[in-house]
Each structure stands twice: as structure tokens, then as C-alpha cells.
Amino acid sequence: MPDDAIYFSRYDNLISFSRFRPGMVARCTIRGAPVKDALLVPVEAVHADDRGSFAWVLSPFGGTRVRRIVVGKTTSHFAEVREGLRAGERVRVAEAK
């Protein structure tokens, strides 16, 4: 799934190329490395405190509890969870009350 965003940056060394002029706009594509069999959760489901990252995991009986997780690669929409969750588990995207 593409993760489109607009980023503003400045690169002063492009002046050495005759086709580029100050103030010009360019469109580029940055491709990341795919991750096979990744477990993804919405970034809103990942929280952090002084002990590291965690997620609120929903139990089958309706309660929630904190589960420590190890986060891998992230985009503006999703975070890869490398440890701490299993496929099929449900997480809460807002803090449990």
C-alpha cells in the first residue's frame, strides 16, 4: 500500500548540475525495502513510556491490558510489530480508560 506524503527539503549541492536552479520544484519517488510477513498495526495503537513501546490489547472477554512490543519499520499510517503481538489479536487505538 503506497504511503504518499509531501516533504519539503533543501539540497544545496544540486547547483553544480546545470539543469537545476534555485527555487525549482521536483517530484521524486523513494522506495523502501518490502518486509515479508509483517504484522502491522495502526500507528495510533502504538504508545510509549519510559520503559519502551506498548499496545493496549483487547481480551476476548472485553478487558484491555498493556502489552510490551518491539516496533520495527513505520510509515505515517502503520507500524510493524516485531515482538509482543500475534496475528489476530485486537489492539485499541485510544488509551484505555
Model-wide pTM > 0.75: no
pLDDT (tens digit per residue) in 17-51? 567 677 777 777 777 777 788 899 999 999 999 99
Higher pLDDT, 5 or 68: 68
Task: Give me the torsion for CA of 80, 82, 83, 84, rounded to 10°.
Answer: 10
b or e along 55-82 (b: 16 or more beta carbons within 10 Å of the residue's beta carbon)? bbbeeeeeebeeeebebeeeeeebbbbe
CATH for the stretch 12-92:
2.40.420.20
